Amino acid sequence: MLRQLYTTYSDPAAARTLVASCKAAVVQWRWATESMAFATPFLQEKQGGPKARWVTDDKADPARHVRHGFDAQGRVVIECGTRGTITAWLHAPGVRHSLSFDDGDIASGWEWREHDGKLQGLDLITDDRGFNEIYHWEGDQLQRVVIENWSKRERTWWCQNVYTYNDAGQLDTIVLEYLDAKGRRNGKSRLEYQRPRPGETLATVTAEVERLLIEAVSAQLPRIPAGEPLYCLLLCFTAEDTTAAWPPFLVWGRQPYRQAVLDRGDDEARYYLWAPDEIREVQGDSEEHWFTEPALTEACQRHSQYMELRQSTASATRVLKNVAAWLDAPERRALLTTTDDFVVAVADNSGNIDPLPGLRKAIGPERWAVLKARGCV
């Protein structure tokens, strides 16, 4: 049914007719911070961000908020979002369909299958990919969601979210487990959510991450092979998705690589000298280190939850700056074989953020002048 609807309303004329009929059924309009009809169990725990809420008309901002149209039965039949996006909702016993349009072109289709107020299945379809979810309940507690992920360009793969609860019946953890085609666990899993510990705050977990990261780095420094001198040690993160590489990882650049870049004599030297991917491409994966200590990775997972809830990575930025400053102290530099102008820098692995302004501020004018005189910045 979902695929048939998606195909039908891929025609712009049919889409316009559908949207017009949904708008005609509206008897009341209400604003909200985001979609109030798109609701799945534990959505906030999985995705973070503030909880969706209704907004009075006088406080509504069309550039940020979503306008909901209700029919005479109190059901959402249309949502008008930002930048011209529109979602039409179709209702039938036990099933809802939503079709989203962007500037008149269909973007996605969803099917929601429900029974006794509980979501039983959720399907998504787009032009080239989608998924099918099956929800397994035990009484009022969701136990797991089995997900089939399909694509026209890649193989179908399966996974499941497994939910556990504490003695009070509150959600405790969500663990993502990867499955084979027969639905069997393949041994790979990832903690997606953990209930905050009593008394834990963003500040306390940030401090814990910083402490554990310093401990892990301290243990790793003596293990960096001596070899050719290091001109830099990069504390790397991913700016476009900070939680994807959290904890951060280390990449170190050696003098032969730097000299080869400088010998080229091009204007791109300042990029290649401080880009983790470029350094690894030449030096190899042995010149990096990813932290896998259980206590650190678990703390970083909890930290990620707080950052997603706040929709801010400012606390991660502070951790990176503090740990980099700690690393750059003379007593830590003494543990390594380095050049006389060795520095520690925070580097965005995706290359979207230039590390040099931050480096310049961190190392001071004298050390910066030496790097500049040598053509490194």
What is the secondary structure of 29-98 as a DSSP string? EEEESS-SS---TTHHHHH-SPPP-EE-GGG--TTT-EEEEE-TTS-EEEEE-GGGEEEEEEEETTEEEE
Residue owning tokens 């998606």: 6
Q: How confident is the model at residue 270 (pLDDT cuts 50, 70, 90)?
A: confident
pLDDT at 194: 86
pLDDT for 3 beyond 90: yes
Give mean pLDDT, residues 180-208. Answer: 90
Give percent of the chain with pLDDT exceeding 70. Answer: 100
Residue 240 confidence (pLDDT):
87
Euclidean distance between CA atoms 45 and 365, whole angstroms: 45
Distance between CA atoms of residues 310 and 352, nearest Å:
22
In order, the DSSP letters of 321-376 are HHHHHHHTSHHHHTTS-EEEEEEEEEEETTS-S-SHHHHHHHHHHHHHHHHHHTT-
* Of 309 and 71, the one with more pLDDT: 71
Position 51 scores a pLDDT of 86
pTM (2 d.p.): 0.71
* Residue in 90, 83, 110 with CA at minimum distance from that of residue 2: 110
How many of the other CB atoms lie within 10 Å of CB of 266? Answer: 10
Computed on alpha carbons and rounded to an integer, the radius of gyration of the chain in Å comes to 26
Q: What is the mean pLDDT of residues 341-368?
A: 94
Q: Determine the pLDDT at residue 168.
A: 93
- Whole-number pLDDT of residue 40: 94
Neighbours of 139 (CB within 10 A): 7
Q: Give me 167's structure tokens.
A: 């003695």
**pLDDT digits 0-9 by tens, 226-265:** 899 999 999 999 998 888 789 999 999 999 999 999 998 8
Confidence of residue 364 (pLDDT cuts 50, 70, 90): very high
Judged on CB neighbours under 10 Å (0-12, 13-18, 19+), 240 is exposed
Whether residue 331 has pLDDT greater than 90: yes
Q: Region 339-358: what's the mean pLDDT?
A: 93
Contacts 24+ apart (CB under 8 A), 93-102: 95/1, 97/1, 97/2, 97/5, 98/37, 98/38, 99/5, 99/6, 99/9, 99/15, 99/18, 101/9, 101/15, 101/19
88-99 mean pLDDT: 97
What pLDDT does residue 47 have? 81
pLDDT of residue 125: 98
Report pLDDT digits (tens) over 12-61: 999 999 999 999 999 999 999 999 999 899 998 888 778 899 999 999 99
Residue 190 in this model has a pLDDT that exceeds 90: no
DSSP string, 278-327: HHHHHH-GGGEEE---HHHHHHHHHHHHHHHHHT--HHHHHHHHHHHHHH
